[in-house]
Structure 1
Amino acid sequence: MRIISLNVNGIQTAKERGLFAWLKEQNADVVCLQDIRCTQPQIESPAFELPGYVCYASEAEIPEQGGVAIYSKLQPKAIITTLGFESCDRFGRYLHADFDKLSIASVLLPSGRGSDESLNQKFKFMDDFTSYLEKQLRKRREYIYCGSLYVAHRKQDVKNWRDCQHLPGFLAPERAWLDEVIVNMGYVDALRKVNHDTEQFSWWPDTEQAELLNLGWRFDYQLLTPNLRRFAGRASLPRAPRFSEHAPLIIDYDWLLSV
């Protein structure tokens, strides 16, 4: 089973940069997109069709802000588009597809950048989402959360980390939140399960210097319930081609997706 996760920063722009042609070549079972910036009817129109896949999307109150989508080769048993708290549902930040014994989710956190309001909204989402993740651990099924989290967890996940400690995305409370999810609750960071190389970044500021010097951050994750740890296989974050400020996260699992 191959899962691709990507923050597209607007699906129309990503399409113009060749996203759908590239996806056709990847033969993924499931594609999770974040920050699609369009309405549900728009993404389900022929303009954004991926042949051989069914498509589902959440919708933000303001379509130009947020929204997530899932493309799947298999028709899921069920689709969930809300989590029941405003910091998520109002902005279309969550969607998951239920398959047999496994659910796959697309999740988008606020970036926390640009204003105190955005950062506070991010912390509110983290608090609400933590409660949700705790409940899911008690269920008798497995979960893969494909998330654009806008948090670099460890020092190795951001270039020049000393200079970034005061910036949203690498603040101590944000990193402590990922410690709670990964270390204390036991969720598995699938990339780090199989790849411990340095400079495994998934986001770069939109500047020529950032590209040239590889001034990246790892903001994008596939988080697994603990029982899935042994199924994570090859993982990659290809820098090219690029369809947004983010790189796609590609992970192959020793798991046969079924309904």
Structure 2
Amino acid sequence: MRFITANLNGVRSAASKGFFDWLDRQGADAVGVQELKAQADVVEAQFRSCGSLNGQFHYAEKKGYSGVGLYLRDCPSDVIVGFDGGEFDGEGRWVEARFDKPGRKLSLISCYFPSGSSGEDRQQAKFRFLDAMHPHLMALKAEREFILVADVNIAHREADLKNWRSNQKNSGFLPEERAWMTRLLGSEKDQGGLVDVYRHLQPDTTDTCYTWWSNRGQAYANNVGWRLDYHLATPGLAALAKKEAIYKGEKFSDHAPLAIDYDFQL
């Protein structure tokens, strides 16, 4: 199974730059997209499907903001839209497709974590999101296997961004955010036990691991990037990951798509 994640920074913009033409050639079984920045009337009319992949979406109430989707080759047994029933469900941040069979419960999820870079109000909202997300993921892990693809808006380790020394007080690399990731990925009894699948496959890469570059200055040209896009999986599914690829041959967005191949079928 090939699962791709891509923050589109606007589905119409990414489409105009060739994203769906590229995607149609990838042989993907599932694709998680974030930051649709479009509502149902646009998406359902223009971007409902891509080849044999059919979409499921969670739209933000605010026009031109957030929104996530899953494009799927196989028909899920159920689709869950939203995760907290409150503040963040109105922002269009979670869509989950379930593929349940006798003896197996499995979910594929596309999620968009908030950014706190626009100011303290949004940083506090980001912390509230993290506070709500951790127990939600732990409850999900207790009942089913899953792979969550997401723009997490956090670089976990120093190797995950170019200028880590100068970003230690900036949103996306704050000590509290990194500690949240460490807890989520920790293997101790009181920690999350999820797996950062890219790092499972590539534990030591630095400059080649980035998936986001600021539009300011010459960040992309100089590869001054951050690794913000993740596959987070339960251990059993993470162990089936075989190959990863960050696609930089074309620029559809300020993010690059991340594809991972897994040795199982839906």
Partner residue, 2:62: 62
Q: Distance in 2 between matches of 1:125 and 1:85?
A: 12
Partner residue, 1:164: 167
Q: Distance in 2 between matches of 1:174 and 1:51?
A: 38
Aligned-residue offset at 1:211? 1.6
1:90-127 deviation digits (Å, cap 9, x = unpaired): 10100010113310000001111111111111100000
1:175-208 deviation digits (Å, cap 9, x = unpaired): 0010111112110001011112112001000134
How many residues are aligned here?
256
Gap change, CA 1:46 and 1:211, over 3 Å in 2: closer
Aligned-residue offset at 1:168? 0.5
Gap change, CA 1:163 and 1:86, over 3 Å in 2: same
Q: Distance in 1 between matches of 2:87 and 2:150?
A: 15
Q: Secondary structure at the match of 1:31?
A: strand
User: Does residue 1:189 correspond to 2:189, yes or no?
Assistant: no
User: Does residue 1:33 correspond to 2:33, yes or no?
Assistant: yes
Pairs within 5 Å for 1:190-229: 190-196=197-203, 197-199=205-207, 200-229=209-238
Letter in 2 for 1:150: N
Pairs within 5 Å for 1:95-110: 95-100=95-100, 101-110=105-114
Aligned-residue offset at 1:40? 2.3
User: Does residue 1:86 correspond to 2:86, yes or no?
Assistant: yes
The normalised TM-score by structure 1 is 0.95
Q: Secondary structure at the match of 2:260?
A: strand
Partner residue, 2:118: 114
1:206-227 deviation digits (Å, cap 9, x = unpaired): 1342122210000010100122
Gap change, CA 1:210 and 1:49, over 3 Å in 2: same
Instruction: Confirm or deny: 8 A CA contact 1:191 1:236 kept in the other structure.
Output: no
Instruction: Confirm or deny: 8 A CA contact 1:87 1:124 kept in the other structure.
Output: no
Q: Secondary structure at the match of 1:180?
A: helix
Aligned-residue offset at 1:49? 3.2
The normalised TM-score by structure 2 is 0.93
Compare the two structures and name the one with the higher helix fraction: 1
Q: Distance in 2 between matches of 1:57 and 1:47?
A: 11
Instruction: Confirm or deny: 8 A CA contact 2:49 2:71 kept in the other structure.
Output: no
Q: Distance in 2 between matches of 1:225 and 1:44?
A: 32
Structure 1 runs (4+) deviating above 4 angstroms are none
Aligned-residue offset at 1:229? 2.5
Partner residue, 1:123: 127
Q: Secondary structure at the match of 1:5?
A: strand
Uncovered stretches (5+) of structure 2, i.e. residues with no partner: none
Instruction: Confirm or deny: 8 A CA contact 1:44 1:56 kept in the other structure.
Output: no
User: Does residue 1:253 correspond to 2:262, yes or no?
Assistant: yes
User: Does residue 1:135 correspond to 2:142, yes or no?
Assistant: no
Sequence identity (%) = 36
Letter in 2 for 1:193: H
Q: Secondary structure at the match of 2:226?
A: coil
User: Does residue 1:153 correspond to 2:161, yes or no?
Assistant: no
Which deviates more, 145-154 or 234-243? 234-243
Pairs within 5 Å for 1:1-80: 1-80=1-80
Q: Distance in 1 between matches of 2:126 and 2:84?
A: 16
Partner residue, 1:144: 147
